[in-house]
């Protein structure tokens, strides 16, 4: 803690800040950060803040914060961790005096933005000024002014590449640590080794569940990190279970929403389902049933609006969850109600003022990685007890609430696991490994993980990076790998971008990568599916979905980014605008790395498409499938998984060889975003991976062998021709001399 430092905020010399001094500044007439008088709204919010359990413990917090370099904070949902602790820190004398700032990480983008917005309001400053946020491809901060930055954990991890000692920060707060995302886990490992070098850096690890002991032990420097425990919550949440297990959780969720709407007091509802399709479908059904209810009983049942929420929705549409509930139909009629139907992106850190009821069927889609077959998939699985607590915690934030669990209490006690398995044990680690190697982690096996990943998963990541030539055989970063790590993208995508100038198509690959980085932009409204499909078909190119992405983007630009054009073609203009923004940012990185921005228009467009497809192969040669005779299915290369083309695929035939962007497991395994390729490109452009000695026997190997033989024969003929011509030349020379 800064001894004898003149503090610009409080203007006095002191040993450490006390709660009383901060309290004085908070209650003061003037905002210490802007030097403007506090607004009325500030005082109104302050009243509510003062009732939060964390707030009442400010003094204890400062005492612990002054004494220790690392603190673990644990408190129930809604106790005020996310919004108050970072403010306590910025009000202390550390960050401002040293020109450093405070970071607070969140696992999710939506929570990052909404927490920053709330805290900016609480501090009476403009979002993006003293309080801001940073998420991938969006920076809402003002260097020089921002002192508190909410950011995704993934982004802070990326910052470590250029600033491994986190020199910009005085305090790093890892929020929602119990979620155990790969990025938070990696940050914990990096920070643990950093605290020895940076004695002035403070770390706060915040968790909503009582597994804090694990973090305390992990962060043992001389002794385990101390625990700052926040008891209690502001408003009670009543928990209700079903008597019997529900056979169809979606149907049960819809029924529960309707029951609440008919019988419960006013207040909005948050329902947790597992994925986009399920959510859109449930929204439609809820709306139909609710409209029926209102039509039959307009005097007692108010209007109901239903808002979907999932991660692939464009941010603007996600913000709709904060819209007010619909007003009564007539001035003295029954009040309206808002229902948000969401995936688990609304599970943590989020406060939607007005949500009183939570409906929790107990399932979510969870990432699973099988390193043996290199497949990462999302599977609908039961949630953990701590997730269920988080979900219930979304009610009762601004007033008492109720949570309806659509499973029995016995199942809750006996069947649900305490916590989810950490993500590091369930996902593909190639991006993380590249990031960590770039940060300087030499030995990933001996890295101080909170929970070490499976050796096979690490091997797979190293193998991929080695085949992509990002790492050499000793696991060191190559110059290519260094360049790849500069992009906030999957390693395959960055490799593709870097190689694209060799194929005269970096502009096109840039477009493909940008389009793949934004949410699904095709819209398919239920009552106009046919029209939407026809529009899509007209924009699709027969050689592949990747080429279609270029076509859609170019058409949109040719139509001067006209949202009417997008609307008429059943395309989300917002998603395309986001793609244009992502593209511009990636372009700046390419310029910085001096990667040529080229496009070569051939008179023959097909030849240009060949070049683009070859560039795709340079990144995605491990994601290739071979058609299985005339069975209509494909077999993935080396891993031999039987897959089908996803129904969204725009190819008009079933080519023998295809490259795919994604493996998805729904009712059965599919490959999505697919483009036709030639097998000879695989043998030429990824010879190490396509060394046929490494293939198991089977039709794919035989097919590749035939291609190889053909290539060799062709090469043999070429060589023989060249030798014959050389011979002729020398004979001529000899005869002449
Ligand atoms: N956008 C908002 N509108 C109204 N009230 C809010 C808002 N954000 C936060 N609050 C209030 O502040 C309280 C504390 O929120 P905060 O996110 O800091 O809690 P938390 O302890 O971090 O919980 P969790 O772990 O569930 O995120 C909420 O319960 C709510 O009363």
The atom number, within ligand 1, closest to the CA of 322 reads: 1
Distance 351 CA to ligand 1 centre (A): 5
Closest CA to 274 of 210, 360, 193: 360
For ligand 1, atom 3, the nearest C-alpha belongs to 353
Residue with tokens 């290539």: 711
Binding site membership of 396 for ligand 1 (Cβ less than 6 Å) = no
For ligand 1, atom 12, the nearest C-alpha belongs to 80
CA distance 405 to 241: 5
Q: What pLDDT, on a 0 to 100 scale, did the predictor assign at position 191?
A: 97
Binding site membership of 348 for ligand 1 (Cβ less than 6 Å) = yes
List, in order, residues 6 or more apart from 51 with CB less than 8 Å away: 234
Binding site membership of 130 for ligand 1 (Cβ less than 6 Å) = no
State residue 547 phi and psi, 5-degree precision: -70, -35
Distance 36 CA to ligand 1 centre (A): 26
The atom number, within ligand 1, closest to the CA of 394 reads: 26
The whole-model pTM stands at: 0.87
DSSP assigned state of 127:
B
Binding site membership of 398 for ligand 1 (Cβ less than 6 Å) = yes
Distance 436 CA to ligand 1 centre (A): 33
Distance 191 CA to ligand 1 centre (A): 27
What is the per-residue pLDDT across 255-290, written as a single tens digit (0 to 9) for each? 999 999 999 999 999 999 998 889 999 999 999 999
Binding site membership of 87 for ligand 1 (Cβ less than 6 Å) = no
List the structure tokens of 431.
Answer: 């991006």
Helical spans, DSSP H, in 372-502: 385-392, 409-414, 430-439, 455-467, 479-485, 491-499
Binding site membership of 319 for ligand 1 (Cβ less than 6 Å) = no
The atom number, within ligand 1, closest to the CA of 117 reads: 1
The atom number, within ligand 1, closest to the CA of 390 reads: 26
For residue 393, the Cα-to-chain-centroid distance in whole angstroms is 22
Binding site membership of 108 for ligand 1 (Cβ less than 6 Å) = no
Mutate to test the pocket of ligand 1, among 80, 205, 232, 270 (most ligand atoms within 8 A of CB): 80
Residues in the chain with pLDDT values less than 50: 1-15, 94-95
The atom number, within ligand 1, closest to the CA of 230 reads: 21
List the structure tokens of 585.
Answer: 């940012």
Binding site membership of 395 for ligand 1 (Cβ less than 6 Å) = no
DSSP assigned state of 522:
B
List the structure tokens of 43.
Answer: 């005082």
The atom number, within ligand 1, closest to the CA of 49 reads: 12
The atom number, within ligand 1, closest to the CA of 233 reads: 29
* DSSP element (H, E) containing 318: helix 315-318
The residues that bridge with 238 in the sheet, in sequence order, are 402
Q: Under a CB-based contact definition with an 8 Å cutoff, are residues 401 and 355 in contact? A: yes
Binding site membership of 397 for ligand 1 (Cβ less than 6 Å) = yes
Rg (CA), the chain: 29
Q: In a 3-state reduction of DSSP, which class is residue 268?
A: strand
Closest CA to 345 of 274, 255, 440: 274
Distance 123 CA to ligand 1 centre (A): 14
Distance 46 CA to ligand 1 centre (A): 13
Distance 552 CA to ligand 1 centre (A): 41
Q: What pLDDT, on a 0 to 100 scale, did the predictor assign at position 603?
A: 72
Binding site membership of 81 for ligand 1 (Cβ less than 6 Å) = yes
* DSSP element (H, E) containing 189: helix 182-197
Torsion angle of C-alpha atoms 509, 513, 515, 516, degrees rounded to 10:
130
The atom number, within ligand 1, closest to the CA of 349 reads: 27
- Longest pairwise C-alpha distance within the chain: 113
CA distance 285 to 257: 11
Q: Under a CB-based contact definition with an 8 Å cutoff, are residues 688 and 710 in contact? A: no
The atom number, within ligand 1, closest to the CA of 75 reads: 21
Give Cα separations from 535 to 56, 520, 555, 574, 674 (angstroms). Answer: 59, 15, 13, 18, 19
Distance 111 CA to ligand 1 centre (A): 11
The residues that bridge with 268 in the sheet, in sequence order, are 355
For residue 58, the Cα-to-chain-centroid distance in whole angstroms is 33
- Indicate the pairing of strand 657-665 with strand 624-627: antiparallel
Binding site membership of 349 for ligand 1 (Cβ less than 6 Å) = yes
- What is the tally of helices (H) and strands (E) in the chain? 26, 23
Mutate to test the pocket of ligand 1, among 78, 87, 205 (most ligand atoms within 8 A of CB): 78
For ligand 1, atom 14, the nearest C-alpha belongs to 80
Closest CA to 435 of 193, 103, 162: 162
Taking the alpha carbons of 76, 80, 82, 86 in that order, is the dihedral positive or negative? negative
Q: In a 3-state reduction of DSSP, which class is residue 253?
A: helix
List the structure tokens of 96.
Answer: 């401002």
Mutate to test the pocket of ligand 1, among 54, 212, 397 (most ligand atoms within 8 A of CB): 397
List the structure tokens of 56.
Answer: 């009442």
Cross-sheet strand order for the sheet of 401-405: 237-241, 401-405, 355-360, 268-272, 337-342, 304-309
For ligand 1, atom 16, the nearest C-alpha belongs to 80
Closest CA to 486 of 354, 417, 629, 586: 586
Mutate to test the pocket of ligand 1, among 52, 76, 83 (most ligand atoms within 8 A of CB): 83
| ipTM score for this prediction | 0.97
Q: What pLDDT, on a 0 to 100 scale, did the predictor assign at position 190?
A: 97
The atom number, within ligand 1, closest to the CA of 83 reads: 18
* DSSP element (H, E) containing 609: helix 605-620
Q: Under a CB-based contact definition with an 8 Å cutoff, are residues 63 and 148 in contact? A: no
Binding site membership of 80 for ligand 1 (Cβ less than 6 Å) = yes
The residues that bridge with 675 in the sheet, in sequence order, are 544, 659
CA distance 610 to 605: 9
Residue with tokens 């009732």: 51
Distance 86 CA to ligand 1 centre (A): 13
């Amino acid at each position: 803690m800064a001894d004898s430092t003149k503090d610009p905020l409080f203007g006095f010399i002191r040993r450490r800040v006390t709660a009383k001094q901060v309290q004085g500044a908070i209650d003061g007439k003037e905002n210490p950060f802007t030097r403007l008088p506090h607004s009325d709204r500030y005082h109104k919010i302050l009243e509510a803040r003062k009732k939060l359990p964390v707030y009442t413990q400010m003094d204890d917090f400062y005492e612990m914060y002054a004494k220790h370099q690392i603190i673990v904070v644990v408190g129930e949902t809604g106790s005020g961790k996310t919004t108050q602790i970072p403010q306590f820190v910025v009000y202390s004398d550390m960050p401002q005096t040293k020109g450093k700032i405070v970071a607070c990480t969140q696992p999710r983008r939506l929570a990052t933005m909404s927490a920053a917005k709330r805290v900016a309001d609480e501090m009476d400053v403009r979002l993006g000024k003293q309080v801001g946020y940073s998420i991938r491809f969006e920076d809402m901060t003002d260097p020089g002014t921002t002192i508190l930055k909410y950011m995704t954990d993934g982004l802070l991890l990326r910052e470590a590449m250029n600033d491994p000692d986190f020199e910009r920060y005085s305090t790093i707060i890892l929020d929602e640590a119990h979620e155990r995302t790969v990025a938070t886990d990696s940050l914990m490992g990096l920070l643990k080794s950093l605290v020895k070098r940076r004695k002035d850096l403070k770390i706060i690890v915040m968790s909503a569940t009582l597994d804090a002991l694990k973090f305390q032990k992990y962060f043992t420097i001389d002794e385990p990190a101390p625990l700052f425990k926040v008891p209690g919550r502001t408003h009670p949440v009543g928990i209700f279970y079903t008597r019997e297990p529900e056979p169809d959780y979606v149907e049960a969720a819809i029924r529960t929403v309707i029951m609440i709407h008919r019988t419960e007091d006013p207040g909005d509802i948050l329902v947790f389902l597992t994925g986009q399709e399920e959510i859109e479908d449930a929204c439609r059904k809820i709306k139909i049933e609710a409209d029926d209810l209102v039509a039959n009983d307009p005097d007692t049942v108010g209007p109901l609006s239903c808002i979907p929420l999932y991660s692939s929705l464009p941010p603007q549409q996600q913000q709709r969850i904060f819209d007010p509930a619909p007003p009564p139909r007539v001035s003295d009629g029954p009040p309206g109600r808002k229902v948000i139907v969401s995936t688990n992106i609304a599970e943590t850190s989020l406060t939607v003022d007005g949500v009183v009821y939570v409906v929790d069927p107990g399932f979510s889609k969870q990432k699973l990685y099988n390193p043996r077959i290199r497949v990462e998939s999302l599977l609908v699985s039961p949630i953990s007890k701590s997730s269920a607590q988080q979900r219930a915690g979304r009610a009762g934030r601004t007033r008492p609430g109720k949570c309806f669990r659509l499973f029995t209490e016995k199942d809750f006690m006996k069947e649900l696991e305490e916590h989810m398995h950490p993500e590091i044990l369930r996902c593909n680690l190639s991006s993380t490994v590249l990031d960590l190697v770039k940060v300087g982690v030499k030995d990933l096996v001996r890295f101080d993980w909170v929970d070490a990943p499976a050796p096979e998963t690490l091997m797979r990541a190293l193998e991929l990076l080695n085949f992509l030539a990002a790492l050499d055989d000793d696991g060191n970063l190559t110059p290519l790998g260094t360049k790849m790590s500069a992009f906030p993208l999957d390693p395959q995508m960055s490799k593709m971008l870097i190689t694209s100038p060799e194929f005269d198509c970096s502009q096109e690959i840039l477009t493909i990568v940008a389009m793949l980085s934004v949410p699904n932009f095709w819209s398919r409204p239920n009552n106009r599916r046919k029209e939407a499909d026809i529009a899509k078909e007209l924009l699709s190119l027969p050689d592949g979905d990747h080429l279609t992405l270029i076509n859609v983007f170019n058409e949109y630009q040719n139509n001067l980014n006209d949202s009417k054009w997008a609307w008429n073609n059943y395309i989300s203009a917002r998603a395309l605008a986001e793609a244009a923004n992502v593209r511009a940012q990636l372009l700046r990185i390419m310029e910085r790395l001096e990667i040529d921005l080229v496009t070569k228009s051939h008179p023959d467009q097909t030849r240009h498409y060949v070049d683009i497809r070859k560039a795709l192969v340079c990144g995605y040669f491990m994601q290739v499938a071979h058609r299985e005779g005339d069975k209509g299915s494909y077999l993935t290369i080396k891993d031999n998984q039987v897959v089908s083309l996803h129904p969204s695929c725009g190819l008009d035939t079933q080519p023998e060889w295809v490259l795919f962007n994604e493996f998805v497991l729904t009712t059965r395994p599919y490959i999505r975003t697919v483009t036709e390729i030639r097998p000879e490109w695989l043998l030429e452009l990824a010879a190490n991976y396509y060394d046929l000695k490494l293939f198991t026997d089977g039709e794919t190997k035989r097919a590749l062998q035939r291609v190889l033989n053909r290539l060799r024969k062709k090469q043999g003929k070429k060589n023989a021709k060249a030798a014959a011509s050389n011979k002729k030349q020398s004979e001529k020379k000899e005869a002449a001399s």
